Amino acid sequence: MVKYILKRLFQMVITLLISSILVFILANCIGDPVNMIVSPKAPPEVREQVREMLGLNKPIWEQYITFVSDAIRGDFGDSYIYKEDVLGLILQRAPATLELVFVSVILALVISIPLGVYAGAFPKRKSSSLIMGGSILGISLPTFFIGIVLIFVFSLLLGWLPSSGRGPTATFLGMKFSLFVQGGLKYIILPAVTLSVTNIASLVRLTRAGVMENMRQDYIKFARAKGVSTRNVLFGHALKNALIPVITVFGMEIGSLIAFTTVTETIFSWPGLGKLLIDSINSVDRPVIVAYLCLTTVLFVFINFVVDLLYTIIDPRIELR
Amino acid sequence: MKKRMTSLLLAGAMLLTLSLTGCQPDSPSGENSQQPGTETSGGETEKKSLVIGVVNDVVSLDPAVKDSSAEQQIAAHLYDPLVDYTTDLERIPGLAESWEILDDGVTWEFKLRQGVKFSNGNDFNADDVVFSLERIMNDPTLEMGVYLMRLKEVKKIDDYTVQLVTKIPYPVFSGSLSMIMMLDKETCEGLTPEEISANPVGTGRYRLVEHVKESSIKLERNDEYWGELPDAETVEFRVITNAATRTTALLNGEVDFISNIPVMDVERLENAEGIQVVTAPSLSCTYVGFDQYHETGSAGTDDPNPLMNVKVRQAIYHAIDIDTIIDTVLNGYATVANSYMPEICVGYDPEMERLAYDPDYAKQLLEEAGYADGFNLRIDARSDSDFNADQVAQAIASYLGKVGITVEVNLLPRASFYEKVNPEDLQSSCFIGGWSDTSGEGMVILNDMIHSYGDGMGEGNNGHYSNAEVDELLAQASIEKDMDKRAELVKQADAISREEAGYVPLFFKDQIYGVREGITYTPRAGDNIMAWDFEF
């Protein structure tokens, strides 16, 4: 186990190095940050001064080495635009995204797993084809469209839910959350639903496929013959064996939800990480982009690790090596 | 009404939780914070509150950090400049009661307003002026420094008199000063911009209640303000980035006012009950710029650079049908430009007309220039501008195609675009640019845009248009105190650059606002939205 974790850590360092080099070079191609920092009316001397202050006059490999040696000490530098510590900036925005992802993940699980099992167990029923049709719609519709339709229906026509913003927040463990505040909950509903639609759709399909395959296996027939209740057959046996691909995909999706909620956050003005990323890309705020994507790499490696651990719990035949 | 009440109740509940959890240490509204909730349940005495939907949050509440209208509009609520300006860009006394230029022509003496207090109770005096100005002059990363480029030194004469000495005689310096906000020396000395932003101390009409990053900025009226009190007692700038969401928020009453309405949403808002659409011409000029710097090797066109030829530039000017572009691309929400200068400027010439749309004449000019078979041209334009630069570029490309010029439209995101058109290292032969200036002085605009580039002049003249006569006229205008004479000089310089087609002015995009019924909004020149332009 320890050996496995060490191996994983080593892999993570390599991944981080490669991805940071890539991000560093690519961020350099977006444009010259000095044009974004200095007023367009400023004279060339001021531009040069700023360039020097930020160390942008040095060759790119030298900048990269400085970045890595600082990053090892936990210093990702200051944002060009906000002039704040990048890590602090990201941590400030993280709670908003995390709670949004949390709600949408819960939604996705609660809705997709039962629907998927149902559609897999009784594939010939009309209701099952309805679920499958709906899931195709869910996969195909782009997020921004779903978001705008939801706003139109629930906030403009019906007037039930607010169209944007995060609503009231309360401090919990030093971070601001809106989940625990009474009025805060209704702000999260529309963005969370928007975010979960695609996931629900793909998880339904995966669960269904897995369950359908398992339903044809002998052990299910045997369980039935033994008189195990339908519920136990479906959720205790068929689902459990269908879970491996579901969990793999689910893990990856949590990762991309946390890292790339950009579209949803922009539509609903949700002040989270996705909006920070897109703003930073637009203003060539390289320290933020690089730190953000490095953290995302860590996040994905971590999630993959957790998923691997879950495999061993679900299927004892799998060993960590 | 019901919705408004609930939102107010929510706001009250929120303030309550905030004060309970103590995550907002220096709330200036300590004892007031629970009032909105209790008041609305009483009914009658509802506070005059204004919720404004804006596109982006500010980067900093330190007024010196960024030179953008979004930042300056919030700063103007919290702080005051020495010299203020009206909705028509006329200069009026701000924290300076009066000023005069001394006989040497470069020394400005300002008499400061007495008895003005900062939000922390400190007195405003000459030390604060010296501090606020020197702070910007000494730090190149503070963008507002561009407005003080001509300032040499600041001298305190007594507690309520300061002298500002400019490097050269510059009669419109008071206009530049209207961009510079006054900070409290005792509070801000030694603080970083982030610290100043976290706890802004100003003399302005409003005080900060709360700034939730990327969400909202809440202000309350400063009832001790030295000037006329605005109607709105509380103001909230709420960040709603997505245009469709912003429109919805106005329609269902979550906000009272929005700006930057996309032209396609205008009709829907006009037909909605209880909402009024207000349009006003902006100061932001969209234009076509030409590379007039590289004799050979201009990026994206033939060799030698055909745009060096005045006839070619004139031909392009004559080939563009701006009226049709405005009607089709901008649904009519724009005003034709005949110069970089908006109508409101000193030196704007209402008699002047654009070079007329005449494709046959354009062809003739190209023939005379030796380009009967046309040439290749690349138009660079931003893909993410708020004045539809991408569609404008495509329309222009088709007009130029009709007179035989082969155009490639090259759309770029903001950062890459500015890198291409950077005047130090111009990598574009032709581009769609935008320029906005709130000085109200044609001389200032033309100094930036058509004066030869270099030595602090022609900062917006990315294409390096250059004419010695224009430079001379503008040099005279820069030191001319008499407004009419200055206007005359500016008009002459403007006429020359038009004649030579140094650029093609296209249009001033209209600002489109939506406001809830019951509130009257008077738009001001420029993009800034000020809470005191609203009447209840």
Give average pLDDT by consecutive 10-residue segment, chain A, 321 residues: 81 85 81 73 75 80 83 81 83 85 89 86 84 87 86 85 77 67 79 88 87 81 78 77 81 80 85 85 84 85 83 76 63
Task: State percent of chain B over pLDDT 90.
Answer: 35
Residue B10's pLDDT is 44
What's the pLDDT score for residue A283? 79
Cβ separation B13–A46 shorter than 8 A: no
For B60, nearest residue in chain A (alpha carbons):
A82
Nearest to B17 among A42, A163, A181 (CB): A181
Q: Could you tell me the CA-to-CA distances from A296 to A89, A110, A124, A300, B160 in Å, in that order?
A: 15, 26, 42, 6, 55
- Mean pLDDT computed over B350-366: 89
pTM above 0.95, yes or no: no
What beta strand segments (E) does A95-249 contain?
A: 170-172, 175-177
> Count of H helices and E strands in chain B?
17, 19
Cis peptide before A44 (omega within 30 of 0): no
DSSP letter at B139? -
Q: How many Å apart are CA B276 and CA B271, to the nearest integer? A: 9
Strands B49-54 and B234-239: parallel
A contact test, residue of B24, B141, B194, B426 with most A CBs within 10 A: B141
- Set of chain A residues whose Cβ sits within 8 Å of the Cβ of B67: 39, 41
Nearest by Cα to B11 from B45, B28, B35: B35
- Please answer yes or no on whether A162 and B254 come within 8 Å at the CB atom: yes
Q: For position A51, what pLDDT does the model report?
A: 81
Sign of CA dihedral B526, B530, B535, B536: positive
For residue B530, give the amino acid letter.
M
Residue type at A206 in one-letter notation: L
Q: Rounded CA gap, B112 and A187, in Å?
A: 48
Chain A: residue nearest B59 by CA? A82
Q: What is the pLDDT of residue A173?
A: 64
Chain mean pLDDT for chain B: 84
Residues of chain B found within 8 Å of residue A47, distances taken between Cβ atoms: 424
Query: Is A275's CB within 8 Å of B67's CB?
Result: no
Q: Which of B67, B239, B459 is the closest to A43 by Cβ?
A: B459
Hey, what long-range contacts does B477-480 have (CB within 8 A, 24 or more apart)? B477/B347, B477/B443, B477/B446, B478/B168, B478/B169, B478/B170, B478/B171, B478/B443, B478/B447, B479/B105, B479/B168, B479/B169, B479/B170, B479/B171, B480/B171
Predicted local distance difference test score (pLDDT) of residue B258: 93
Confidence of residue B4 (pLDDT cuts 50, 70, 90): very low
For B241-265, the pLDDT digits (tens) are: 888 889 989 988 889 999 888 887 8
User: Does residue B51 register a pLDDT over 90?
Assistant: yes
Compute the average pLDDT of residues B368-375. Answer: 88
Residue B515 has pLDDT above 50, yes or no: yes
Name the residue among B3, B14, B248 with its Cβ closest to that of A151: B248
Residue of A nearest to B418 (CA): A35
Say yes or no to pLDDT of B433 above 80: yes
A31/B448 touch (CB, cutoff 8 Å), yes or no: no
Contact B60 A159 (CB under 8 A): no
Taking CA atoms, what residue in A is nearest to B54?
A269
